[in-house]
């Protein structure tokens, strides 16, 4: 194992992970809001915000699927060392990580069952930029409406129509993240 992979985790694990967890949960509770996070320095192509989410939300019981260019030895080794999370297929994952195009088709990810809607995947989508403009969002956690620069709106609208089933998504750009739970309605 490359010694560089031993680096890039939280410097102060209890404090950094608590801050990151709060940002991740606040983003999910308030869809469309942007949050800046810090503390992770993962290997390329993964950027800070997605690395923070992986360090915070993944453990030996959460399977991760790496899509496209993200399925590389340095990133696999970094995730294994810092979280112990197993790398699994798209169909079996708890978290799927990659760029939007590489994650297609999103229909292959688990969306829960009537008895266990929580047994669904969460997508961690890396974008070149992230802003509070674009698609109109409404639903729980949003006062009137919010906006978020989503890669495509059709998949998210179809996902919301399945509620309470469906997958959830985090969007990351650099050190910023936002979330879109399955309960959020998306309009162009």
pLDDT at residue 98 greater than cutoff 90: yes
The pLDDT confidence band at residue 188, using thresholds 50, 70 and 90, is confident
Give mean pLDDT, residues 50-58. Answer: 97
| Whole-number Å distance between alpha carbons of 32 and 138 | 9
Whether the CA torsion 70, 72, 73, 76 is positive or negative: it is positive
pLDDT in tens, 82-91: 999 999 999 9
Quick check: 132 and 148 in contact, CB under 8 A? yes
Q: What are phi and psi of 181, to 5 degrees?
A: -75, 160
Q: What is the mean pLDDT of the chain?
A: 94
pLDDT tens, residue by residue, 108-133: 999 999 999 999 999 999 999 999 99
Write down the domain spans for the chain.
8-187
pLDDT of 1 higher than 60: no
Asked if pLDDT for residue 4 goes beyond 80, the answer is no
Q: Give the global pTM.
A: 0.95
pLDDT band at 2 (very low <50, low <70, confident <90, very high): low
Q: What is the pLDDT of residue 10?
A: 87
CATH of domain 8-187: 3.40.50.11310
């Amino acid at each position: 194992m490359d010694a560089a992979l031993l680096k890039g985790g939280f410097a102060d694990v209890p404090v950094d992970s608590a801050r990151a967890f709060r940002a991740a949960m606040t983003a999910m509770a308030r869809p469309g809001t942007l949050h800046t996070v810090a503390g992770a320095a993962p290997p390329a192509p993964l950027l800070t915000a997605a690395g923070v989410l992986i360090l915070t939300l993944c453990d030996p019981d959460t399977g991760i699927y790496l899509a496209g260019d993200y399925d590389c030895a340095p990133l696999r080794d970094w995730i294994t060392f810092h979280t112990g999370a197993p790398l699994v297929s798209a169909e079996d994952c708890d978290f799927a990580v990659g760029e939007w195009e590489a994650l297609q088709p999103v229909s292959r990810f688990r969306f829960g069952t009537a008895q266990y809607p929580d047994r669904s995947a969460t997508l961690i989508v890396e974008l070149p930029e992230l802003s509070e403009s674009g698609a109109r969002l409404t639903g729980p956690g949003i006062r009137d409406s919010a906006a978020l620069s989503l890669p495509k709106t059709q998949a998210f609208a179809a996902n919301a129509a399945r509620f309470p089933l469906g997958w959830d998504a985090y969007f990351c750009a650099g050190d910023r993240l936002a979330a879109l739970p399955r309960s959020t309605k998306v309009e162009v």
